[in-house]
Structure 1
Amino acid sequence: MQAAIRVLPARLFQLSSGCRHRVTGVGNSRRHRASVSLLLIGDEILSGKVQDRNLYKTAKLLAGAGITLKSVEVLPDSIDVIASTIRSALLSGSVNGVVTSGGIGPTHDDVTYEAIALATDTELKLDEMTAKQMEKMSRKKYGEGWEMNEWRRKMAVLPTPSHIQRVEGLWCPVVTAYLQAEAGKGAGVTALPGVPPLFDKMLSAAISERDGVFHPMVKASRVVASVFTQMTEGDIAALLTECQNNVAKKGIMIGSYPAFNMAEGMMDYRVKVSIEGDEKEDVEDVAFWLAQRLDGRMTIGDK
């Protein structure tokens, strides 16, 4: 459920030095949160033929589950490039998982499963259940004239062994493979289709359902506050830098985003300052302190 928004005019708050001292203290270190890398796969994205829509959805779904999206890369339809990128991420120990988007269809340039098998030292084997589900659901949708052929069967040839999660209403499963030297222990790579509605449904299932590969990583989402000011980024850069340095050990992140439509009267502020962290009280204290000094309007919640 989305956090309730309450508008708190800066002039109503006078922050004490004690409040600021509590925020800048080192006492509460940042909670450990799982992190994920996203690989967007497809020559069509790199060439501008198709506009990706899965990055934004991934960021929102993971953030809502308290999981950090650590990095994003766009890769060509190359087995070697995809495999080396996946393997490097899995061996680095810097992320808890890798998600791929695209490249699991029936055509010659759909090579993600092959790349995952190469990266994780697994084999490619026909998953009979996936093939049966594909045939059953496809004939129901397209009629009895639909026939299984080698290209369609390719979509059921999966890295093996792997964690397979069935999603209601879909024949395509969420497939997660692990480096065989670390099978089931370290980070895994999860393959999802690039088609946005399918990607959304399958990633949501991987996060929310009990057998989902990301379900054990879920934590409470981070607390967000915003301060809206008429000052420009150049005016407030020094203050924001000082504040970020003071609260970094608390795991609080501060960002600033200029409003480009103000000239047309569409925005009532020049800069939005975002304050994000694990502890609600700490985030509010930082936001109060900034709102007072920026003569700004403050909200609590992701707005």
Structure 2
Amino acid sequence: MISRLSQLARHLLRPYPEFSRLSASRSSGLASRIMASADERNSRTIHTAACLIIGDEVLGGKNLKRVEVIEDDEDEIVEAVRRMSDRYDFVVTSGGIGPTHDDITYQSIAKAFDLKLILHEEAYERMKKLTKPSKSHPNFSWDVESPAKTARLRMVYLPIDESRDLAKQALFPRDDLWVPISVVNGNIHILPGVPRLFESLLQGLKPFIVDRLVDPEGKGIFRAIISTPMGESAIAGYLTDLADRVAHKGVKVGSYPRWGKKNNTVTLVGRDKEYIESLVPEVVQKVQGKRVQNEGEDDEPEVVASTAT
């Protein structure tokens, strides 16, 4: 699960078009919009947009259940972290914990759980020790109050539950980084959005949670991949029947078209490797395909046309 989150971070933290959901803070007309008819929705001016990505293969396993991208809006963050904290055992957030005005993750999550933002002394001391001098602030001093110091301190005022053990609410996975992982409500883990830092801290988090993981190394998830020249509609009936037959064993059947390619992909995913292997010959026969180790490995090389001069 940790490695899959790192892969998703590299993908999702690239620049992307600004798809956002309607913010609760701008919901004066929300009631009327909810009651709108399909025809009204089909003709209204487009002010907001959303993108919903659906598929087991995107999440890549049994543990990771949801990935959301939301805007820097307090109400959006409050709603999302409350809901996800209630629904999932382990939640990671990424981004919005820098020194600028739009970095509102800490204050929003504090509000979500009725907590105070409190200066974390250990994080502050580590920040002073490990922060390198900046060319943009050559005369900066930790002993002198300044806008630059105030901005930096925003990053070490953490959401703290004063009734709980402080050691459980801020983790330091890397000795060479001052950045803490703030842990709120027991299962919300707040990480920076910079991909390099996110991946490093996420990997460093593993020793803190490994004894709670169902499958620490991800070895319990087994996937068989079958490449087929048949179209999805031609095998849909068989795959539907197969999915019903194997569901009691915890096996999920996937079907994925590969546009522009000769072959499509069928997958069998679950924890019972022996049972999945027993299904492979049948699936190969029914979809007129063959077993492959990686999707697309049997693709024919593309022919590049050349022109004579």
Cross-structure match for 2:156 = 156
CA 1:215/1:105 → structure 2, altered by over 3 Å: closer, same or farther? Answer: farther
Q: After the TM superposition, which residues 3-82 of structure 1 pair with which residues of structure 2 at under 5 Å, given as runs?
A: 47=18, 68-82=63-77
- 4+ residue runs over 3 A deviation: 140-148, 299-303
TM-score, with length taken from structure 1: 0.68
State how far apart, in whole Å, the 1-side matches of 2:238 and 2:288 are. Answer: 13
**Does the 8 A contact of 1:139 with 1:146 survive in 2?**
no
Cross-structure match for 2:280 = 287
- Give the Å deviation of 1:170: 1.5
Instruction: Give the aligned length.
Output: 234
Q: Larger relative contact order (C-alpha < 8 A, sep ≥ 6)?
A: 1
Q: After the TM superposition, which residues 156-235 of structure 1 pair with which residues of structure 2 at under 5 Å, given as runs?
A: 156-161=156-161, 163-168=169-174, 169-178=176-185, 184=186, 188-206=187-205, 208-209=206-207, 211=208, 213=209, 216-219=212-215, 221=218, 222-235=221-234
State how far apart, in whole Å, the 1-side matches of 2:117 and 2:211 are. Answer: 26
More strand by share: 1
CA 1:130/1:41 → structure 2, altered by over 3 Å: closer, same or farther? Answer: farther
- Give the Å deviation of 1:135: 2.0
RMSD, aligned α-carbons: 3.1
State how far apart, in whole Å, the 1-side matches of 2:89 and 2:291 are. Answer: 34
Give unpaired runs (5+ residues) of structure 2. 1-8, 20-52, 143-148, 162-167, 298-309
> In the alignment, residue 270 of structure 2 is paired with which amino acid?
G
State how far apart, in whole Å, the 2-side matches of 1:147 and 1:284 are. Answer: 64
- Give the Å deviation of 1:226: 0.2
CA 1:133/1:294 → structure 2, altered by over 3 Å: closer, same or farther? Answer: same
CA 1:84/1:109 → structure 2, altered by over 3 Å: closer, same or farther? Answer: same
State how far apart, in whole Å, the 2-side matches of 1:275 and 1:67 are. Answer: 13
State how far apart, in whole Å, the 2-side matches of 1:145 and 1:224 are. Answer: 57
State how far apart, in whole Å, the 2-side matches of 1:144 and 1:132 are. Answer: 20
CA 1:147/1:45 → structure 2, altered by over 3 Å: closer, same or farther? Answer: farther
**Does the 8 A contact of 1:41 with 1:75 survive in 2?**
no
Provide the identity percentage.
Answer: 32
**Does the 8 A contact of 1:41 with 1:102 survive in 2?**
no
- Give the Å deviation of 1:147: 4.1
**What do the CA deviations read for 1:166-219 (whole angstroms, capped 9, x no partner)?**
1222111111111xxxxx4xxx1111111111111111222x22x2x4652241
Q: After the TM superposition, which residues 66-145 of structure 1 pair with which residues of structure 2 at under 5 Å, given as runs?
A: 68-91=63-86, 94-139=87-132, 145=139
**Matching of residue 256 in structure 1 with residue 262 in structure 2:** no
State how far apart, in whole Å, the 2-side matches of 1:121 and 1:286 are. Answer: 51
CA 1:280/1:154 → structure 2, altered by over 3 Å: closer, same or farther? Answer: same
Secondary structure, aligned partner of 1:68: coil
